[in-house]
């Protein structure tokens, strides 16, 4: 009898033990689920895009530019910064209800100036490239351009193939330099005798005039304007290294500000203001704003 009782008690203990284990397992599973749910809730949401309100709250839009890049942005005889991009940006700022502030920058450090918020946009004949699309938020393109060679008319250089062994001038940090350094144009670059780098196209063209450089690789829009205004005996070759478009560069993620500027440009186009500004600088509306 005692033996049967002992077996019964042992069996009962095993049952309670199994029940307890099951309960603990269930409790642990519930706890794990709760912890998991808590972690999911604690995942931070993406930061709100305040780029537009940032501009509106401070009441200023700081435009970074190379102030020696006519006709997009440059200094006139009274040392005032003027140009097509300046007039266009002023019209956009009036739409946004903010003050336009012009900030000349070292073009080679333009992305750093933007990242540190010393400027709010790069707007100065800023070419669209794959690298810039990856690192910045870009507006819709507003003008077409090409990277071409500027030579002296008596140079004997009629095509890019004639640059073999010659000296080429280029602006540091420019889209022309990026195009020259690309794998696509490696064959052309390798044929050159020397590459001279300058801080601006103005000094590059001065170097061309002295004969120290045989050609300048630069934006055709800018080249044609500078040649016509200065009356220099230069010509822009029909050959081009690359066709491109101008757009406005914003900090990566500043989509609200980008969209507001895009919308303002579309409104200005519809109102005829873009045509008025373009005609002032180019003789006709050469923009591609829709």
Would you give per-residue pLDDT tens digits along the chain (290 residues)? 444 444 434 443 444 443 344 444 444 554 454 444 444 344 344 478 999 999 999 999 999 999 999 999 999 999 999 999 999 999 999 999 999 999 999 998 999 999 999 999 999 999 999 999 999 999 999 999 999 999 999 999 999 999 999 999 999 999 999 999 999 999 999 999 999 999 999 999 999 999 999 999 999 999 999 888 888 899 999 989 999 999 999 999 999 999 999 999 999 999 999 999 999 999 899 999 99
Residues 84, 281: contact at Cβ < 8 Å?
yes
Which fold does the domain 146-244 belong to in CATH? D-Maltodextrin-Binding Protein; domain 2 (3.40.190)
Q: Give the bridge partners for 143, in sequence order.
A: 246, 287
Closest CA to 162 of 198, 212, 215: 215
Look up tokens 């829009």; give the residue: 221
Three-point CA angle 25, 31, 36, nearest 5°: 125
CA–CA distance, 185 with 208 (Å, rounded to integer): 22
Q: Give the bridge partners for 195, in sequence order.
A: 168
**First-to-final CA distance of the chain:** 100
Q: So what's the pLDDT on residue 29? A: 53
Residues 97, 53: contact at Cβ < 8 Å?
no
Q: So what's the pLDDT on residue 28? A: 52
Angle of helix 51-58 relative to helix 255-271, nearest 10 degrees, comes to: 70
Q: Where are the domains of the chain?
A: 51-144+246-282, 146-244
Taking the model in full, what pTM does it have?
0.75
Q: Which residues of 115-137 are buried (b: 16+ CB within 10 A; e: fewer)?
A: eeeebbbbbbbbbbbeebeeebb
C-alpha 258, offset from chain centre = 11
Q: So what's the pLDDT on residue 230? A: 81
Pairing of strands 194-198, 137-138: unpaired
Which class does domain 51-144+246-282 fall in?
alpha beta
Largest CA distance in the chain: 125
- For residue 154, which phi and psi values (nearest 5 degrees)? -95, 15
CA pseudo-torsion sign 74, 138, 111, 256: positive
Q: Give the bridge partners for 135, in sequence order.
A: none
User: Does 51-144+246-282 match 146-244 in CATH topology?
Assistant: yes
CB atoms within 10 A of CB 2: 6
Residue 155 gets which letter from DSSP? S
- For residue 2, which phi and psi values (nearest 5 degrees)? -65, -40
CB atoms within 10 A of CB 224: 17
Q: So what's the pLDDT on residue 231? A: 83
Which contiguous run of DSSP H or E holds residue 172?
none
Q: So what's the pLDDT on residue 9? A: 40
């Amino acid at each position: 009898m005692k033996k049967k009782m002992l077996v019964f008690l042992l069996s009962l203990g095993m049952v309670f033990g199994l029940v307890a284990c099951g309960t603990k397992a269930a409790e642990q599973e519930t706890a794990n689920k709760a912890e998991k749910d808590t972690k999911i809730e604690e995942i931070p949401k993406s930061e709100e895009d305040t780029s537009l309100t940032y501009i509106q709250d401070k009441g200023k839009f700081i435009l970074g530019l190379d102030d020696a890049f006519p006709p997009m942005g440059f200094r006139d005889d009274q040392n005032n910064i003027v140009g097509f991009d300046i007039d266009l940006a002023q019209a956009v700022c009036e739409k946004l209800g903010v003050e336009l502030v012009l900030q000349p920058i070292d073009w080679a450090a333009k992305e750093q100036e933007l990242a540190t918020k010393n400027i709010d946009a790069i707007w100065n004949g800023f070419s669209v490239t794959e690298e810039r699309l990856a690192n910045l938020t870009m507006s819709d393109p507003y003008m077409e351009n090409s990277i071409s060679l500027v030579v002296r008319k008596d140079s004997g250089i009629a095509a890019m193939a004639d640059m073999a062994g010659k000296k080429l001038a280029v602006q540091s940090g420019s889209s022309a330099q990026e195009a020259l350094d690309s794998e696509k144009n490696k064959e052309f670059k390798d044929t050159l005798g020397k590459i001279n780098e300058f801080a601006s196209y103005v000094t590059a063209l001065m170097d061309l005039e002295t004969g120290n450089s045989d050609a300048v690789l630069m934006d055709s829009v800018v080249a044609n304007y500078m040649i016509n205004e200065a009356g220099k005996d230069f010509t822009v070759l029909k050959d081009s290294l690359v066709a491109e478009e101008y757009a406005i560069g914003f900090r990566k993620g500043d989509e609200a500000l980008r969209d507001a500027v895009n919308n303002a440009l579309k409104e200005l186009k519809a109102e005829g203001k873009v045509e008025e500004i373009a005609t002032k600088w180019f003789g006709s509306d050469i923009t591609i704003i829709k």
